[in-house]
């Protein structure tokens, strides 16, 4: 088992309390940061570490911090803990089990970025995670780790835990700021970028929960140590959320550059596909990323290799589909998500996700038309790159890549009215719940 960083202490009983967290070295990184480093030196350290955002886009964290506009407006930090990308469940675990590590990361980052008010935006559905983070923040206030003159320094910080209320779009950074400002979660046009004009008009840094949870270890052990993990361009470790058709789904922290095959098949991790079925497809970074075929199973999990294979590392949500999965049904299910979660602000996304779902639904249920496959591609082309925020692009990823890889399955649906694989292979009769459920759309 390779060395762990983020999940190293996660199973220690009571690590979610301040006392136990401190027994295991907690808040020493904060002390070190405040006593030994100027803010700019910390920014430089994180740049040197090579840490890249763990939320989806993979932007270099230190560079993001250095982009903050230098003016006299108050600066803000937003921790994006609105985890809701289908296939992703790492931030929830971090918040539920080790919330102080996140809080420490928030305080250090706030100091490094000269922020005086930080927000932790926790997804509304994650009730326990929200309570854990709120409790950790309160404990930190009571211990003088947040508030005025932290640990006797001249640095002061307020931290507010803000709970979402059910909107995937608020994971998009500008929609998150709108939500924090007390409005509907509609994305903003960029530029200006949040680093220049963000929350309440001030320069704002927005980082993912896992990203911020990694900061204490980097400050504690140094940039060089962290950069020693991973590949030349993708440094460090990250949590891969493995789900779908594997024997042992779960969160696995691995150095970047680990082969997909290891994650899926190694006994320490996924342990292979149930029933020893064949691999059909892999979605490597949450449902917003392009589907990869089974020939890509030896690709390494780092930003560059996954991009070269034709997808993105995204949020680290690796979804595995076995040979019996109806690709039309699976893509329909993913597309329904984007239809339901489109905020409705811009037309290509609002209307396009609706129509794509309609067309996929009729294909899935045997009412498809011959031109539907091309029509889907055409709609994707009219959404991707033409919508306000990345949600529109994301909605097209599974469709374009799915059709590219499995076009014959779509056409089979048109011709035969049902799937060419799995339990949906025969026309599902109403008695067969198993077949209907595997085959989606029992509505």
Binding site for other proteins (CB under 8 A): 74, 83-89, 91-92, 117, 123-128, 130, 134, 160, 162-168, 179-185, 200, 241-245, 249-251, 283, 287, 317, 319, 321, 325, 330, 333-334, 337, 340-341, 343, 433-434, 436-438, 440, 442
Distance (Å, rounded) from C-alpha 337 to C-alpha 340?
5
Among residues 87 and 272, whose Cβ is nearest to other proteins? Answer: 87
- DSSP output for 60-75: BHHHHHHTS--SSSPP
Among residues 109 and 398, whose Cβ is nearest to other proteins? Answer: 398
314 in helix, strand or coil?
Answer: coil
325 in helix, strand or coil?
Answer: coil
* Minimum distance from residue 77 beta carbon to other proteins (Å): 13
Among residues 54 and 123, whose Cβ is nearest to other proteins? Answer: 123
* Minimum distance from residue 84 beta carbon to other proteins (Å): 6
* Minimum distance from residue 22 beta carbon to other proteins (Å): 26
Among residues 160, 174, 319, 128, which one has the least CA distance to residue 242? Answer: 319
Distance (Å, rounded) from C-alpha 304 to C-alpha 139?
40
* Minimum distance from residue 89 beta carbon to other proteins (Å): 4
Among residues 91 and 372, whose Cβ is nearest to other proteins? Answer: 91
Among residues 93 and 217, whose Cβ is nearest to other proteins? Answer: 93
* Minimum distance from residue 182 beta carbon to other proteins (Å): 4
Among residues 85 and 220, whose Cβ is nearest to other proteins? Answer: 85
* Minimum distance from residue 229 beta carbon to other proteins (Å): 23
Among residues 63 and 423, whose Cβ is nearest to other proteins? Answer: 423
Q: How far is CA 227 from CA 8, 10, 132, in A?
A: 17, 22, 30
Among residues 285, 283, 298, 247, which one has the least CA distance to residue 268? Answer: 247
Length of the chain: 443
* Minimum distance from residue 405 beta carbon to other proteins (Å): 16
* Minimum distance from residue 140 beta carbon to other proteins (Å): 16
What phi, psi does 42 have (nearest 5°)?
A: -70, -40
Residue 356 contacts residue 339 (beta carbons within 8 Å): yes
Please give the structure tokens belonging to residue 175.
């929609």
Among residues 49 and 396, whose Cβ is nearest to other proteins? Answer: 396
Residue 3 contacts residue 235 (beta carbons within 8 Å): no
Q: For residue 203, what are the contacts with CB-CB under 8 A and spacing of at least 6?
A: 68, 69, 71, 73, 75, 76, 194, 195, 196, 197
Residue 277 contacts residue 292 (beta carbons within 8 Å): no
- Look up residue 27 and give its DSSP letter: T
Among residues 305 and 419, whose Cβ is nearest to other proteins? Answer: 419
* Minimum distance from residue 44 beta carbon to other proteins (Å): 29
Distance (Å, rounded) from C-alpha 183 to C-alpha 170?
11
């Amino acid at each position: 088992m390779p060395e762990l960083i983020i999940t190293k202490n996660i199973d220690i009983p009571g690590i979610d309390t301040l006392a136990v967290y401190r027994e295991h070295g907690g808040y020493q990184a904060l002390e070190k940061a405040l006593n030994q480093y100027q803010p700019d030196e910390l920014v430089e350290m994180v740049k040197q570490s090579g840490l890249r955002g763990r939320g989806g886009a993979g932007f270099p964290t230190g560079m993001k911090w250095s982009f903050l506009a230098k003016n006299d407006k108050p600066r803000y930090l937003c921790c994006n803990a609105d985890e809701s990308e289908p296939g992703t469940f790492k931030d929830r675990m971090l918040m539920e089990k080790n919330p102080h590590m996140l809080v420490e990361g928030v305080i250090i980052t706030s100091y490094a970025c000269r922020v005086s008010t930080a927000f932790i935006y926790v997804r509304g559905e994650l009730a326990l995670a929200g309570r854990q983070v709120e409790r950790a923040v309160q404990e930190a206030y009571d211990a003088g780790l947040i508030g005025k003159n932290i640990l006797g320094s001249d640095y002061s910080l307020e931290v507010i835990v803000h709970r979402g209320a059910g909107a995937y779009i608020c994971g998009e950074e500008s929609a998150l700021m709108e939500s924090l400002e007390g409005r509907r979660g509609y994305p903003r046009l960029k530029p200006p970028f949040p680093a220049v004009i963000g929350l309440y008009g001030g320069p704002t840094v927005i980082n993912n929960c896992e990203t911020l949870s990694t900061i204490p270890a980097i400050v504690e052990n140094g940039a060089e140590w962290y950069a020693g993990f991973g590949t030349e361009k993708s440094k460090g470790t990250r949590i891969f959320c493995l789900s779908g058709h594997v024997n042992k789904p779960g969160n696995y922290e691995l150095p970047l550059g680990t082969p997909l095959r290891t994650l899926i098949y190694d006994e320490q991790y996924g342990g292979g596909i149930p029933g020893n079925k064949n691999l059909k497809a892999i979605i490597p970074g949450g449902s917003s990323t392009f589907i990869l075929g089974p020939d890509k199973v030896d690709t390494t999990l780092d930003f560059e290799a996954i991009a070269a294979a034709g997808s993105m590392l995204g949020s680290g949500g690796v979804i595995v589909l076995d040979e019996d999965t109806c690709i039309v049904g699976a893509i329909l299910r993913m597309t329904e998500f984007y239809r339901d979660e489109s905020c409705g602000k811009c037309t290509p996304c609002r209307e396009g996700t609706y129509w794509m779902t309609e067309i996929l639904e009729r294909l899935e249920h045997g009412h498809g038309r011959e031109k539907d496959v091309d029509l889907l591609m055409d709609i994707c082309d009219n959404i991707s790159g033409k919508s306000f925020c990345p949600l529109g692009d994301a909605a097209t990823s599974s469709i374009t890549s799915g059709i590219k890889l499995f076009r014959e399955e779509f056409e089979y649906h048109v011709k035969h009215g049902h799937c060419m694989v799995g339990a949906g292979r025969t026309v599902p009769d109403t008695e067969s719940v198993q077949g209907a459920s595997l085959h989606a759309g029992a509505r």
